[in-house]
Structure 1
Amino acid sequence: MRPPKVDSNLYAYHLKSLLKTGFIIKNNKDYSLSPSGLNYVETVSLDKFQIHSQPKITTRILLKNHHNQFLLTKRNKQPLIGMWGFISGKIQDIDNRIIDSAQREIYEKTNLNIKNIDHIGDYYAKILSENEVISNTLSHVFTVQIPKQISAIIPTSESQNWFSYEEMVALSTMPDTLDLIYLSSHSDGKFFAELEYEI
């Protein structure tokens, strides 16, 4: 396993370091990449040994009530802290399907187990600041029409509330928010879009 012309002490040092970090595991006399090691080599450039920034895969959920208002949440972390946007979240390993991720996000924000949701499209969004990428996502977009009796029990607060399109125009919203409303209302089937914003 030791490459030719590599000093055995140097090799042993690096092997021990990789074992300690958990990137490789020892099975009897053999070594193999651990799940962390496999994940690392999936994201690193093998010619320059730099980690590539890869898009986060998320769900975005457009919850709409009987007043034609959308439920928005205020972002409480960077990047884009303080901006309003649709319910969203990263797809996690615990999610068996993409729709499970969307349903989990809805439950986390509203305490509702909603099963009847529609996957209406997907989009890729890149957000830049001073020509530097600060956010890079591939999002699966879902929509839910919330009946009057259900929307009344969804908690609202300073960081979560219902807004009409006209009210959203005056808000500090995530760059993709208004575009998602347009895409969701102007497509015959499932849409796909590539969006880029400079903030």
Structure 2
Amino acid sequence: MADPASTHALYDLAKDFQPTFAAIIALAAATIAYRGVLARISYDKAVAEAARHTARLSLCTRLKLRARPMGVQARSLSEWLDNEQARLSIAEVEEQMQVWPHPPGEFEEAWQHLDALPVDAIDALDALRDQQSRMAYVLASPAGEKEDWRRLHVRTISSVAKQVALHADALVTALEVEIAAMRKAADRIR
């Protein structure tokens, strides 16, 4: 049989360290909870970053898909005007201009979220918006009565269309580089 004095001494020893044992258990529980909270914060950050990445990729892709046909249409118009300039009447030019590509909503959305675009794309978007405004001004101004003035009007429209095509191409190129980099980064994360 166990000695009652040693059992009593062990009980007294455990009783003396009871607050210490409780503190150790509480500290372990707090450490486990803290690590759980840190893991949740890390997860939430990753989810938020993935959402920002997806939104940025989506904006760049939509912007590229709108800029490319604008550039093609502007280039086509410029070439048509350059080739047919001598024979064109202002009425024919105005008829053709009815299909001039107006800036899509993605341009305004991108302008509101410049932080989502690379610097080259911002510069190209700014220049493209400027040329679109210039084209709107040219189209709103009367061609005039004299034949020389009409030809100048047609040359101005052609020149602005070339600039629109140039800046649309620059925007598409900048966005393609950025989209490729974002997709590569997303593949590394997965």
TM category, shorter = under 0.3
Higher strand share: 1
User: TM-score, normalising length from structure 2?
Assistant: 0.22
Give the structure with higher Rg (CA): 2
Higher relative contact order, chain-length normalized (CA < 8 Å, sep 6+):
2
**Structure with greater helix percent:** 2
